[in-house]
Structure 1
Amino acid sequence: MDILIVDGYNIIGAWPELISLKNKDLSAARDSLVEKMAEYQAYTGYRVIVVFDAHYVQGIEKKYNNYKVEVIFTKENESADERIEKMAISLSNRQTQVHVATSDFTEQWVIFGQGALRKSARELLNEMKLIEQKIEKNVKKIQAKKPVTKIPLSDEIAEIFEKWRRER
């Protein structure tokens, strides 16, 4: 099994699209990163964990799943780096390869020393762009193979039937 642990604010601060979003709405930037990591998880099959520092969100430690991605806000006075290091140690075993996405050079060396593989923010961004292109290509293929109905239907009626079909 492969696990990708993402240093959330580090990635937000490194991806141009998320930087501009962060300047307007930090919460939206976090949500956008989690959505992208959900696509990454669905496409690669990796288990994805996104870790955010508590100093941006005051309060107690918080864990939850969003789009099947594990999201962790560290407890107060605990950095994302500290939590990621602990997780890299605890999750690593013979059957599990841990990857850590961060551009923090010191953090990269620390986790590398613990057997985890490092991935820079730029590498993850490039990989994400490639995945999005492949997903778009697959969607276009599927849409092109969409069966033609034998009975001519207006778009409105076809949409109603499609909603009914999805509700089942």
Structure 2
Amino acid sequence: MKRRDDVLLVDGYNMIGAWPELAALRDKDFEDARDRLLEMLADYQGFTGMTVIVVFDAHQVPGIGKTFKQRRLTVVFTKEKETADACIERLASDMALRSRNIHVATSDMIEQHVIFGKGALRKSARELLTEIKQSRKAIQHKVEQKASVRNELDSNLKMDIRMKLEKMRRGEL
């Protein structure tokens, strides 16, 4: 069971390459694929209560790394000459000391073994996508349930109050 202080570290470009919807989008517009991934993960974070940190490789891009918040997610672009795997390993080690469950989403088998050795729980891209789809269905189900519930306040009001409210609604008061 997931706890509110659990952390999910996501290898962003690994998910984009592994999820069919994002891979197709990447071929048309890379930025759109990245934005869609962040949107999906933000919904997942909101549903599960987990802290989600998405790491993107920038090791071939000159400059310093960058960390910022987007849609309440923490987004990390690695430093020059640092891979997403190295960044995820560092973050997993740092966070494991704080007695919380660390989950790492990547389909890179070597990376899965390394982070497992650091005490993190591994999750493949396919597993994470399945969980995201399940959470989306659960959210939709809750929304549909709430939409079907009617406000029964009207039947609990006295007639004179109902008449005054109706006049207010019509702009007669």
Give the match for residue 47 of structure 1.
51
Which of 91, 94, 105 matches 2:95?
A: 91
Tell me, what secondary structure is at the counterpart of 1:13? helix
Structure 2 unmatched ranges of 5 or more: 155-164
What is aligned with 1:64? 68
Once residues 139 and 56 of structure 1 are traced to their aligned partners in structure 2, the CA distance between those partners, rounded to angstroms, is 43
Query: 1:122-164 deviations in whole A, cap 9, x for unaligned?
Result: 0001111100000111111111125389689xxxx9xxxxxxx
CA–CA distance in 2 between the matches of 1:86 and 1:60?
A: 17
1:39-79 residue CA offsets vs partner (Å, 9 max, x unmatched):
11111111000000004755331111111000000011100
Percent of aligned positions with the same letter in both sequences? Answer: 51
User: Which amino acid in structure 2 is aligned with residue 104 of structure 1?
Assistant: D
SS in 1 for 2:67: strand
How many residue pairs end up in the alignment? 153
Bigger radius of gyration, 1 or 2? 2
The one-letter code sitting in structure 2 at the alignment partner of 1:46 is: M
Unaligned runs of 5+ in 1: 158-168
2:33 paired with 1:38 = no
RMSD: 2.0
Given that 2:60 and 2:81 are in contact with CA atoms closer than 8 Å, whether structure 1 keeps it comes out as no
1:75 is matched with: 79
How big is the shift at 1:112? 0.2
C-alpha distance in structure 1 between counterparts of 2:132 and 2:93, whole Å: 26
Equivalent position of 1:130 in the other structure: 134
SS at match of 1:78: coil
Q: How far did 1:93 drift? A: 2.7
Q: CA deviation at 1:38?
A: 0.7
Among 100, 104, 110, the residue aligned to 1:106: 110
Deviations 1:1-52 (A, max 9, x none): 2100000000100000000011111111111111111111111111000000
Q: Which moved more, 1:9-18 or 1:53-62?
A: 53-62
- Which deviates further from its counterpart, 48-57 or 2-11? 48-57
Quickly say closer, same or farther: Cα 1:134–1:113, change in 2 above 3 A: same
What is the distance in 1 between the residues matched to 2:27 and 2:98? Answer: 41
Q: Distance in 1 between matches of 2:63 and 2:102?
A: 28
